[in-house]
Amino acid sequence: MNINEVLPEGFDSLEDALTPADFKEDALEEQQLFLTPWQMVARRFFRNKLAVAGLAVLLTMVFMCVILPIFYPYSETELFYRSKETGEQLRSSDSEQITNAVLSSLEAPSSEHIFGTNVLGQDEFARLMYGGRVSLIIGFAVVIVELIIGVILGGLAGYYRGAVDRIIMRLVEIISSVPTVPLWLIISMLMITLNVSPRYKIYYTMVVLGCVYWTSVARMVRGNIFTLREMEFIQAAEATGISTRRKIFSHLIPNTLPNLIVSATMDLGSVILLESTLSFLGVGVGVPYASWGNMVSEVSDNIVMQNYPALWIAPGLCILLTVLSFNFIGDGLRDATDPKMKDR
């Protein structure tokens, strides 16, 4: 007799028929518990609705600022004119025809220009995309610079302690005590004196920002290494005779990575906001090139603010959404990497 002919309905094998249902459920639950740390972090992160919404908004901004300009017909610096005779739109490349035309400035949103044009006759939507690209590049570049400097100096201070720690911490205190607004103004005046191109002026400022922002990262890494240095796995590593460099950068620094990711994410929003402020004050990207900050600064009087809201609402809203997105993502990563939050 074939055993499959006497099996109860709903079972494929004799083993399934003889195995208790509660045992199979427990085995399934036990199997689901074996997740890598990064898988658990990802699962907790995607349970946070605000963090997921922030990630979606950020990806949309990246698409708008990095991919969409490739297919958009206008650039950020291109000027537009209107023919006096026909009213036809002319581009700055039509040099022969613009002799009998006027600058197409402060035009309302239309099919030709989605967000209208600014005072100089430039397409506002093109400037919004290219300006966002500048702001995002600056944010990521500053965070990379601050992480490199902060991780190296904070790791050395936390591991060696003593004189090395005192020297690095005094340097941190000196840099933290420098007033920022006068510093940016001095840097701006230096770049004007050196005739730095408006296009590249913000990148010099970016390096300075990275050299100032690293102090908080160094403090955080130093504090974490103070704790990790006394743990059992570091003592076991020391017993194997590994080098000091490998001990710091292969064992201590990687264990501070969750905190570094959260700190970097939060700093991205702060740097973008600071870049917008600097550009608004004239320290950042100069005309005719765009950033979200100098786009907002184009609103120089009440007439423009009241009658042409597209000039300042769009870049202001982009700044707001991007900074909020980074903050939501940072909060989500902080909760996801915190072992105390595992039950939420």
* Rounded distance between C-alpha atoms, residue 80 and residue 76, angstroms: 11
- How far is Cα 33 from Cα 223, in angstroms, rounded to an integer? 32
Instruction: Name which of 11-15, 21-25, 262-266, 307-311 the model is least confident about.
Output: 21-25
Cα separation, 5 vs 23, whole angstroms: 25
| Cα separations in angstroms, 265 against 186, 222, 259, 260, 341 | 29, 19, 10, 8, 19
Task: Region of 29 please: left (phi>0), alpha (psi -120 to 50) or beta.
Answer: alpha
Three-class SS state of 72: coil
The residue with tokens 């901004």 is: 61
Amino acid residing at 173 = E
CB-based contacts of 176, cutoff 8 Å, min separation 6: 215
Q: How far apart are CA 52 and CA 31, in angstroms?
A: 27
The answer to whether the bond into 288 is cis (omega within 30° of 0) is yes
What is the average per-residue pLDDT within 136-156? Answer: 87
**DSSP E strand stretches across the chain:** 80-83, 89-91, 101-103
pLDDT in tens, 165-222: 899 999 999 888 888 778 777 877 787 788 877 777 777 777 888 888 888 888 888 8
- 89 forms beta bridges with 82
- Other CB atoms within a 10 A radius of the CB of residue 31 amount to 8
Name the residue with higher pLDDT: 308 or 326. 326
**Could you read off the pLDDT of 227-236 as tens digits, one per residue?**
887 777 777 7
> Which residues are CB-neighbours of 221 under 8 A, at least 6 positions away?
150, 151, 154, 155, 158, 253, 256, 260
Angular region, 287: left φ>0, alpha ψ -120 to 50, beta rest: beta
Residue 66 has pLDDT above 80, yes or no: yes
pTM of the predicted protein model: 0.75
The CATH class that applies to domain 124-341 reads: mainly alpha
pLDDT, tens digit, for every residue of 279-312? 776 677 777 778 887 787 777 667 777 777 778 8
Residue ranges per structural domain of the chain: 79-121, 124-341
Q: Label residue 95 by pLDDT band (50, 70, 90).
A: low
pLDDT at 25 over 50: no
Strands laid side by side in the 89-91 sheet: 89-91, 80-83, 101-103
Residue with tokens 């939507």: 125
